[in-house]
Amino acid sequence: MVDLKVNLAGIEIDNPIIPASGTFGYGYEFAELYDINMLGTFSFKGTTKDPRFGNPTPRIAECKEGMINAVGLQNPGVDKVISEELPKLKECFNKKVMANVSGFSVEDYAYTCGKLDKCDEIGWFEVNVSCPNVHGGGMSFGTSPEAAAEVTRAVKAVTTKPVFIKLSPNVTDIVSIAKACEEAGADGISLINTLLGMRINLNNRKPIIANKMGGFSGPAIFPVAVRMVYQVAHAVKIPVIGMGGVSSAEDVIELMLAGATAVEVGAANLTDPYVCKTIIEDLPKVMKKYGINSLSEIIGGVKD
Tell me the per-residue pLDDT of 47-96, one tens digit each, with 9 for 90 and over. Answer: 999 999 989 999 999 999 999 999 989 999 999 999 999 999 999 999 99
Tell me how far apart the alpha carbons of residues 49 and 64 are, in angstroms, rounded to a whole number.
35
Tell me how far apart the alpha carbons of residues 158 and 103 are, in angstroms, rounded to a whole number.
15
Query: Residue 134: what pLDDT?
Result: 57
pLDDT above 90 (res 140) = no
Pick the more confident residue, 137 or 274. 274
Tell me how far apart the alpha carbons of residues 122 and 118 are, in angstroms, rounded to a whole number.
8
**Annotated catalytic residue 113:** no
Q: So what CATH class is 6-55+72-200+216-297?
A: alpha beta
Pick the more confident residue, 139 or 227. 227
Q: At what angle do helices 145-156 and 106-116 cross, to 10 degrees?
A: 30
Amino acid making up residue 117: D
Q: How many CB atoms lie within 10 A of CB 301?
A: 12
Beta-bridge partner residues of 189: 165, 240
Query: Residue 138: what pLDDT?
Result: 55
Query: Residue 137: what pLDDT?
Result: 57
Tell me how far apart the alpha carbons of residues 282 and 94 are, in angstroms, rounded to a whole number.
23
pLDDT above 90 (res 144) = yes
Query: Residue 153: what pLDDT?
Result: 98
Tell me how far apart the alpha carbons of residues 203 and 76 are, in angstroms, rounded to a whole number.
36
Tell me how far apart the alpha carbons of residues 270 and 293 are, in angstroms, rounded to a whole number.
31
Tell me how far apart the alpha carbons of residues 72 and 61 are, in angstroms, rounded to a whole number.
14
Would you place residue 139 in the very low, low, confident or very high pLDDT band (cuts 50, 70, 90)? low
Would you place residue 130 in the very low, low, confident or very high pLDDT band (cuts 50, 70, 90)? confident
Residue from 284, 282, 302 nearest 294 by CA:
284
Beta-bridge partner residues of 75: 52
Write out pLDDT tens, residues 2-39. Answer: 999 999 999 999 999 999 999 999 999 999 999 999 99
Which residue in the list 63, 113, 119, 131 is annotated as catalytic?
131
Strands (E), the chain: 6-8, 11-13, 17-19, 60-63, 66-69, 97-101, 122-128, 163-166, 188-191, 195-197, 214-217, 240-242, 262-265
**Mean pLDDT of the chain, nearest integer:** 95
